[in-house]
């Protein structure tokens, strides 16, 4: 199958492909998604197949507008409407009781469904024109870093999907914040650009609380993690407090370094000229460029990457989560 790059001007043709259960990658403000008809078992099976994704890992269902919520969910609490009104269109996904219409393949047979209203103008144009919601996981092969621009998707899924809708690169660069509203206490399942602190403040004013799911706590602290967001080489993490070990590993060849600007200026020695160094102005810049940089390093034949683990506040929590997964069980370097 040849994978074609489409423009918004090809929208009518893209819709025809989706109606035939083909799957199409499209831009969102977080990462690119791989979309198919959320009401069609066959389209959803095609997504699992193209990604090589285990069939017990459900997709997020994307809709254009809050008015379409009842197409995909039922018994929707007022709180979910309030959260959607406040934070979307944007990088927040909410788990709700599933409606009958959504394909059980999309939700991996669960009775709940993850719903998101993306803000990216191309995603919005696509979803507004589409006669059904789109089930869309991130448009990477299972376990790999998520694509944040259309050429990354092309390289990742060429020959496996019908097409890619072109569009501006992802503004945030990390997947959406996922919360569950299935119970009175809101649960944070995946940190993202809508931060825990923002959610806490908003929920507090409405008399609700939010708790971080145990698997997130495990993920951001060293120890138990599933392989996810991983490039072809090992990643070792370090913190701002432990920079001196970098001196002892200077002679390593084909090495990459991901570091925040403020930390970079604290390195008390000259780094080896052979190292590929990426300096990020702040956490937002780090998040936006993380996956793209990891994939670029692969192309450059980098064999090992040292990455700074920022502090776990605000967007830092999402960055820590993705970096800890990407570095699966390599631990935090203190002495090389």
The sheet with strand 276-280 has its strands ordered as 235-238, 304-308, 255-260, 276-280
Interacting residues with ligand TXA (CB under 6 A): 28, 30-31, 33, 57-60, 93, 95, 107, 110, 112-114, 116, 136-138, 175-176, 178, 189-190
To ligand TXA, the closest distance from the beta carbon of 32 in angstroms equals 7
To ligand TXA, the closest distance from the beta carbon of 252 in angstroms equals 32
Residue 114 vs 259, nearer CB to Mg ion: 114
To Mg ion, the closest distance from the beta carbon of 137 in angstroms equals 5
| Partner interacting with residue 306 (select from ligand TXA, Mg ion, none; CB below 5-8 Å by kind) | none
Binders of Mg ion among residues 165 to 184 (CB under 5 A) are: none
| Partner interacting with residue 59 (select from ligand TXA, Mg ion, none; CB below 5-8 Å by kind) | ligand TXA
Closest by alpha carbon to 114, among 153, 30, 161, 57?
57
Residue 73 vs 243, nearer CB to ligand TXA: 73
- Tokens representing residue 290 in the block: 């993380």
The answer to the question of residue 93 lying near Mg ion (CB under 5 A) is no
Region binding Mg ion by CB under 5 A among candidate stretches 45-53, 96-104, 132-140, 274-282: 132-140
Region binding Mg ion by CB under 5 A among candidate stretches 92-100, 137-145, 233-241, 324-332: 137-145
- Tokens representing residue 201 in the block: 């403040």
To ligand TXA, the closest distance from the beta carbon of 180 in angstroms equals 7
User: Are residues 278 and 289 in contact, defined by beta-carbon separation less than 8 angstroms?
Assistant: yes
DSSP-derived secondary structure letter, 98: B
User: Are residues 203 and 322 in contact, defined by beta-carbon separation less than 8 angstroms?
Assistant: no
To Mg ion, the closest distance from the beta carbon of 317 in angstroms equals 17
| Partner interacting with residue 148 (select from Mg ion, ligand TXA, none; CB below 5-8 Å by kind) | none
The CA–CA distances, whole Å, from 1 to 4, 35, 49, 120, 208 equal 9, 17, 14, 28, 49
β-strand 235-238 against 210-212: which pairing, if any?
A: unpaired
Residue 112 vs 252, nearer CB to ligand TXA: 112
To ligand TXA, the closest distance from the beta carbon of 139 in angstroms equals 7
To Mg ion, the closest distance from the beta carbon of 233 in angstroms equals 20
**How far apart, in whole angstroms, are the C-alpha atoms of residue 156 and residue 146?**
9
Residue 93 vs 333, nearer CB to Mg ion: 93
Residue of the chain from 138, 148, 289, 324 that contacts Mg ion (CB under 5 A): 138
| Partner interacting with residue 189 (select from ligand TXA, Mg ion, none; CB below 5-8 Å by kind) | ligand TXA
CA dihedral 130, 134, 139, 143 (to 10 degrees): 180
Binders of Mg ion among residues 202 to 261 (CB under 5 A) are: none
User: 160-197 burial string, b = 16+ CB within 10 Å, else e?
Assistant: bbbbbbbbebbbbbbbbbbbbbbeeebbbbbbbbbbbe
User: Are residues 291 and 152 in contact, defined by beta-carbon separation less than 8 angstroms?
Assistant: yes
| Nearest residue relative to Mg ion (C-beta) | 138
Packing angle, helices 283-299 and 150-157, rounded to 10: 40
Residue 129 vs 187, nearer CB to ligand TXA: 187
Helix (H) / strand (E) element for 74: namely: none
User: Are residues 132 and 39 in contact, defined by beta-carbon separation less than 8 angstroms?
Assistant: yes
To Mg ion, the closest distance from the beta carbon of 214 in angstroms equals 20
| Partner interacting with residue 287 (select from Mg ion, ligand TXA, none; CB below 5-8 Å by kind) | none
* DSSP assignments along 141-203, one per residue: -TTSPPP-SHHHHHHHHTTTSSEEE--PPPSS-SPPEEEE-SSSSEEEEE--SS-HHHHHHHH
| Partner interacting with residue 278 (select from ligand TXA, Mg ion, none; CB below 5-8 Å by kind) | none
Residues engaged in binding Mg ion (CB under 5 A): 138
């Amino acid at each position: 199958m040849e994978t074609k790059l489409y423009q918004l001007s090809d929208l009518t043709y893209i819709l025809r492909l989706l109606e035939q259960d083909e799957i199409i990658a499209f831009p969102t403000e977080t990462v690119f998604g791989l979309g198919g008809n959320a009401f069609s078992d066959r389209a959803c099976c095609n997504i699992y197949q193209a990604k090589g994704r285990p069939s017990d890992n459900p997709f997020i269902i994307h809709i254009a507008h809050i008015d379409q919520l009842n197409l995909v969910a039922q018994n929707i609490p007022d709180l979910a409407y309030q959260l959607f009104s406040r934070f979307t269109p944007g990088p927040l996904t909410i788990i709700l009781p599933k409606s009958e219409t959504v394909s059980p393949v999309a939700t991996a047979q669960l009775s709940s469904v993850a719903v998101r209203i993306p803000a990216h103008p191309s995603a919005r144009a696509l979803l507004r024109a589409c006669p059904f919601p789109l089930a869309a996981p991130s448009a990477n092969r299972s376990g790999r870093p998520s694509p944040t621009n259309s050429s990354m998707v092309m390289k990742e899924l060429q020959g496996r999907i019908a097409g890619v809708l072109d569009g501006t690169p992802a503004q945030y660069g990390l997947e959406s914040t996922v919360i569950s509203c299935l119970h009175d206490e809101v649960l944070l399942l995946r940190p993202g650009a809508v931060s825990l602190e923002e959610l806490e403040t908003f929920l507090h004013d409405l008399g609700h609380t939010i708790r971080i799911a145990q698997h997130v706590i495990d993920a951001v602290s060293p120890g138990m993690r599933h392989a996810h967001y991983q490039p072809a080489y090992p990643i070792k993490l370090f913190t701002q407090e432990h920079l001196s070990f970098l001196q002892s590993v200077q002679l390593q060849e084909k090495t990459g370094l991901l570091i925040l600007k403020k930390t970079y200026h604290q390195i008390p020695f000259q780094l080896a000229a052979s190292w590929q160094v990426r300096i990020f102005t702040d956490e937002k810049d780090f998040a936006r460029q993380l996956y793209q940089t990891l994939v670029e390093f692969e192309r450059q034949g980098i064999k090992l990457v040292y990455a700074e683990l920022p502090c776990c506040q605000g967007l830092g929590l999402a960055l820590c989560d993705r970096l800890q997964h990407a570095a699966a069980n390599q631990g935090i370097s203190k002495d090389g």
